[in-house]
Structure 1
Amino acid sequence: MGFYDEIRADLLAGRWERGQRLPSIRAMAAQRRVSLHTVVSAYGRLVGDGLLEAQQGRGCFVAIQGALAAPAPPAGEPALPGDPLFRLLQAPTGRYVKLGCGWLPASWRDTDLLARAIRRTARLGQSGLVEYGDIQGYVPLRQLLSAHLRQAVRLEAVPGQVITTLGATQALDLVARHLLCPGDRVLVDEPCNGNLVRLIRLCGGVPVGVPRREDGPDLGFLDEVLARHRVRAFFCNSTFHNPTGAGLAPQAAFGVLKRAMEHDFLIVEDDVYGDFHPGGRQTFAELDGLERVVHIGSFSKSLSASLRIGYLACPKAMVEPLIRLKLLTSVAVPGFCERFVHTILADGTYLRHARAIQRRLATQQQLAQKALRKRGWRFDVAPAGGMFLWARHPALPDLTDFIARLEEKRILLLPGSAFSVSADHRSATRINVAHFSPELARAFQV
């Protein structure tokens, strides 16, 4: 049992009382005869698990009451429903390592900094606590988002073309509802976000998977589909593709856009991981200027999974119908959340936070890839940053049993089938490198 597992077991068993301070990093390293790095890594993961609370300048304190923090389900009652994504989302954080999740560890967030920004927001915009927000989105925030897009992806989008949403999920939902009629064929990445596939089918669309390569969508396959079918839209990740971590090369982006013009379909660009990319990145929106591209971003991935703030920038003709749909489905994004994002964009807090995350993800990618390669794992793409690795092992053509064995060790992964449109991805799984550690690497020995 590794050091992290030992401390975690002690916490769940109630060795320390809630609120008790754990030994300092140096003292714990001396007691357990491990390195300082091992203690720092374990404490950070335990904070992310919700078992410890880090207090700046004071140390780490127990955040749970022993085994009461994660009670076992009653005998005979299934612990979690059968859907793998639901299982991962609903699994108790303190009991499981959610290695297949799509968000950053809690320990990566500067909660003190965010708390200060929340207090400033509350002082400056008290009406946002009790009133409906602007239906299209808080105007000062849309102005800053316009500037953010200009700087980050060289996209000229006036504030009137920007709509705030309840995360990227609502942005995708609004666009799908507006665009799709029953029977419409819709292109998506293969593999891709499984929720997107369900969303398209919910709107009556027929998803068609386009294999995702290291540099972007497979243009040869795309030509074959377009020769046979009329297509309404292409929903496509651009930066750090989910789940493979692939990017988008200029040639591939231009090729897709050229075909969109020739065959009259819209590109819905899901760029929710774009802020994890250091420096400039290639997007469809930059090449097109919002003529036939809808660009979607979000702060839920980079700031907090519970902060449901996303946005879309779209052609002018789509603004009014999308606002009407937003009014019908959610009225508005909570005004306080919009003002909070405005605060951290305006004072530079978000930019500093994003750069710190970019550096950490680049380091974690190197660590995870090296550790997994050592144990025989292979990747379709070896990203230089971002959260995801799409991993396979030549000795395991089907990872179903392997993933089940990891779950017995309280490590949760999603099966490749969760990202499938029509292809068989049983040999692959998505690994979130931000949650990876040398201790976890041992579980991947085949």
Structure 2
Amino acid sequence: MMGFYDDIRADLLAGRWERGQRLPSIRAMAAQRRASLHTVVSAYGRLVGDGLLEAQQGRGYFVAVQGPLAAPAAPAVEPALPDDPLFRLLQAPPGSVVKLGCGWLPLPWRDTDLLARAIRRTARLGRSGLVEYGDIQGYVPLRQLLSAHLRQAVRLDAAPAQMITTLGATQALDLVARHLLSPGDRVLVDEPCNGNLVRLIRLCGGEPVGVPRRQDGPDLGFLDEVLARHRVRAFFCNSTFHNPTGAGLTPQAAFGVLRRAVEHDFLIVEDDVYGDFHPGGRQTFAELDGLERVVYIGSFSKSLSASLRIGYLACPQDLVAPLVRLKLLTSVAVPGFCERFVHTILADGTYLRHVRAIQRRLATQQQLTQKALRERGWRFEVAPAGGMFLWAGHPDLPDLAGFIEGLEKKGILLLPGPAFAVTADYRAMTRINAAHFSPELARAFRV
């Protein structure tokens, strides 16, 4: 059939029949070309879809008067990716480069067979989740399990009614920022921090103010200086394994930030997306506060799959209704099947086994990466408490731009320090993902 279709299409494009001319009937064409009636019917139908023929009921098939829509010419060379280093890192084809500056785990670390079995179980148990909208606030059984998960993991009593599921932590941050911020609001963030968060705050009209991140948490002395000069609306802050330094959070630092939040009347938006990588009990703002002045954000995208956009937030009760309304306006609901999948792996212990295996690998890989880099003269501005990230620089390289460009030519992608800056000068720094590091890559870090 393809040969017949191709022949007729070529004749039409070559102008064998004039525009508006009637083609031979199906029976006549079948006889002329010694083709079956089914072959002619199928080919004519495809040519109508191509815009080369027009079907007129009771009259037959005619050469299209307007002709087919011209397809855009393919560029001789693929257009260059934008200069944004994060965009290049995200969009580089899988397997073509080593994404050493990325924020996710390597594919081999994810037990895809285990997850595939859980997906099949989910499909058998809850078929309605495949075709129906989910609960706008979030699948109730999942919110109940998330409540129990937080109670066990971070000693936080968050009722299911205080929880909202989201399309990853990104949507959770977006919902909170849209609701909280008005043009001109000053918003505290870690310095360095996730560059996309800075862009989001600016998009909502806020003015981000960086608070230096130390090994034990935010710099409280600097925070006092900012609060003495400015009224602040919120502090968006990592708790566990800060991005990009890998720093932790001590109870003293967490309590210090909370005390200032009460005194100066601002909200803490706690981004704890790397929390499940912590092998023991971890410190959070939400545990100390009990969701009075804290919105707690978590995610399963980092630990399970970047394409599985499932996150959640736990918040004060008075924020639930406005945030759910915003969620309805922007996305309606998280896909019900994804919510049921997470519920399945939380309920049967699959998720706990999965993250414990990741925790063990990360602890080993973090130590090996630190050792390899130190042996080559690299230093860390903050000693990582664990997790994926190292915030690294070399005393002989005051500007890493040339070094990073050289690595890119070798197929190794890093994110330069300025991608994590609010106002600080981080040209001498870069984020390295220890989970993607290897002895072979270590050779590229000789200076």
TM category (shorter chain) comes to 0.7 to 0.9
**Cα distance in 2 for residues equivalent to 1:430 and 1:224:** 28
CA shift for structure 1 position 80:
1.6
Counterpart for residue 167 of structure 1: 168
Counterpart for residue 47 of structure 2: none
- Per-residue CA deviation, residues 284-324 of structure 1 (Å, 9 max, x unaligned), is 00000000000000000011011000000000000000000
Does the Cα contact within 8 Å between 2:216 and 2:247 map onto a contact in 1? yes
Counterpart for residue 317 of structure 2: 316
CA shift for structure 1 position 279:
1.1
**Cα distance in 1 for residues equivalent to 2:432 and 2:356:** 22
Q: How does 1:297-336 map to 2 (within 5 A)?
A: 297-336=298-337
- Gap regions ≥5 residues in structure 1: 1-72
Root-mean-square deviation (Å):
1.0
- Per-residue CA deviation, residues 360-397 of structure 1 (Å, 9 max, x unaligned), is 00000011000000000000223242000000000000
**Identity, % of aligned positions:** 88
Counterpart for residue 158 of structure 1: 159
Say how many residue pairs are matched. Answer: 374
Partner SS, residue 231 of structure 1: coil
Does the Cα contact within 8 Å between 1:362 and 1:384 map onto a contact in 2? no
Does the Cα contact within 8 Å between 2:247 and 2:386 map onto a contact in 1? no
**Cα distance in 2 for residues equivalent to 1:425 and 1:87:** 20
Counterpart for residue 249 of structure 1: 250
- Gap regions ≥5 residues in structure 2: 1-73
Q: How does 1:203-218 map to 2 (within 5 A)?
A: 203-218=204-219
Does the Cα contact within 8 Å between 2:100 and 2:413 map onto a contact in 1? yes
1:425 aligns with 2:431: no
**Cα distance in 1 for residues equivalent to 2:385 and 2:282:** 13
CA shift for structure 1 position 175:
0.2
- Per-residue CA deviation, residues 18-39 of structure 1 (Å, 9 max, x unaligned), is xxxxxxxxxxxxxxxxxxxxxx
Does the Cα contact within 8 Å between 2:194 and 2:243 map onto a contact in 1? yes
Counterpart for residue 283 of structure 1: 284
Aligned AA (1:109): R
Counterpart for residue 441 of structure 1: 442
Counterpart for residue 81 of structure 1: 82
CA shift for structure 1 position 76:
6.0
Counterpart for residue 296 of structure 1: 297
- Per-residue CA deviation, residues 311-364 of structure 1 (Å, 9 max, x unaligned), is 000000000000000000000000000000000000001011111100100000
**Cα distance in 1 for residues equivalent to 2:78 and 2:117:** 43
Partner SS, residue 210 of structure 1: strand
**Cα distance in 2 for residues equivalent to 1:384 and 1:198:** 27
CA shift for structure 1 position 79:
3.3
Aligned AA (1:183): G
**Cα distance in 1 for residues equivalent to 2:253 and 2:288:** 12
1:388 aligns with 2:389: yes
Counterpart for residue 101 of structure 2: 100
**Cα distance in 1 for residues equivalent to 2:141 and 2:325:** 21
**Cα distance in 2 for residues equivalent to 1:188 and 1:346:** 35
Q: How does 1:71-150 map to 2 (within 5 A)?
A: 77-150=78-151
Counterpart for residue 375 of structure 1: 376
**Cα distance in 2 for residues equivalent to 1:74 and 1:378:** 44
Higher CA-based Rg: 2
**Cα distance in 2 for residues equivalent to 1:127 and 1:179:** 35
Counterpart for residue 407 of structure 2: 406
Question: Normalised by the size of structure 2, how large is the TM-score?
Answer: 0.83
Does the Cα contact within 8 Å between 1:176 and 1:203 map onto a contact in 2? yes
**Cα distance in 2 for residues equivalent to 1:176 and 1:98:** 29
Aligned AA (1:196): L
**Cα distance in 1 for residues equivalent to 2:400 and 2:251:** 34
Counterpart for residue 31 of structure 2: none
**Cα distance in 2 for residues equivalent to 1:376 and 1:74:** 45
Aligned AA (1:319): V
CA separation of 1:382 and 1:74: change in aligned 2, threshold 3 A: farther
Partner SS, residue 196 of structure 1: helix
